[in-house]
Amino acid sequence: MSATVTVAPAEEQINYDINLPYVRVAGEAYEGTKYPQYLPTWDPVWFEPLRPFDYQDPALRVKDKTKPNLLQGGSKVTHIQPFLGSIVEGVQLSQLNDDAKDELALLISERKVVVFPDQDLVDAGPERQDKFMRYFGKPNYQPVSGTVRGHPSFHIIHRDGNKEEIGRFLEQRTTTTLWHQDVSYEIQPPGYVMLGLLQGPEVGGDTIFAATDAAYRRLSPTFRSFLDGLRAVHSSSMMIAHARVNGGLVRKDPVQTVHPLIRVHPVTGEKCLFLNGEFITKLQGLKEPETKVLLDFLLNHVITGHDFQARVRWRPRTIVLFDNRSTIHSAVVDYLDEEYGAMPRHIFRLCAMSEKPIPASDR
């Protein structure tokens, strides 16, 4: 079994995103992981553009807000921050019935980031994990990144060594963080997202989340009124170009979509910044320097807003479910070794595509 892809010479590579999995997996990686089935593969499969589809958020079906099917006796909920992030113990995701899954969607909408330690679903295999997430929305098929063979809805994040790649990246950047919302360029971006840790460093490799509804509320009424009417162009063209220059496999043409800069969450009714440090190319109606100044301000506002952020610390067999509509996040690549590069870190991601973003200007 081989996952080797021809890569362009280093001098031809362009700087993009250190959080994307690199395209080569050495033979040693197969010997050093407990989950070789989840090592990234690049099968030549082509995907057509996502078509519009009807979406009903499962959280809207919940009648009893106390969530009696999800939070039964023996479960424990501990908040990470007062208004953002919770750790739920005593619940196995693999055992949830449909009523409990609806309540889970509501909990994620309310708390935005929900951490489930020690989940047997991690060991249940990709088919079970894929089926679980399909309950919450259509699957997203990855255009460039490594996936699980036969399961292209998986996005695999795998780092082990690759010192030269990290060195090239940090020659141009001062930090490895990249604040973004997943797959925002699609016509109906993800609502609910699952991350599952297969292997990670003993310390480091956390993921940071910020609440975009709280970030929006902190702005002045005058400024919010201006932002409410803006629309942003989201494009996957840079990601596609990066993959092609580096000899990676591309499974989908670039996608460009116009979305509201401020969206309304369908469950909570809150207005949220729909912001991205990765995929937004322009703001309609603004000139290029104006776009840059505004996006830089908003991103800096989110990045420095530690009072509406939560930091998730990973442990093996942990699953994190988060709301992609009301959060922005970044991985933290701090698990580096001076001699070998990155320590092993192995995560899978599954996205459930949801509604077309609701513009704040419609409310």
| Count of beta carbons in the 10 Å neighbourhood of residue 115 | 24
For the domain covering 10-43+53-362, report its CATH number.
Answer: 3.60.130.10
Q: Which residues of the chain have pLDDT under 50?
A: 1-15, 22-23
Per-residue model confidence as pLDDT tens digits over 106-132: 999 999 999 999 999 999 999 999 999
DSSP alpha helix (H) spans, 79-158: 98-111, 126-134
Of 316, 312, 311, nearest to 346 by C-alpha is 316
**DSSP structure string for 9-66:** -GGG-----TTSPPS---HHHHHH-S-GGGS-B------PPPPP-----GGGG---TT
Q: In this predicted structure, what is the pLDDT of residue 161?
A: 67
Phi, psi angles (nearest 5°) of residue 23: -85, -10
**Do the beta carbons of residue 353 and residue 182 sit within 8 Å?**
no
Domain boundaries, the chain: 10-43+53-362
**Do the beta carbons of residue 24 and residue 5 sit within 8 Å?**
yes
Q: In this predicted structure, what is the pLDDT of residue 299?
A: 96
Q: In this predicted structure, what is the pLDDT of residue 67?
A: 98
Q: In this predicted structure, what is the pLDDT of residue 158?
A: 84
Of 114, 109, 64, nearest to 93 by C-alpha is 114
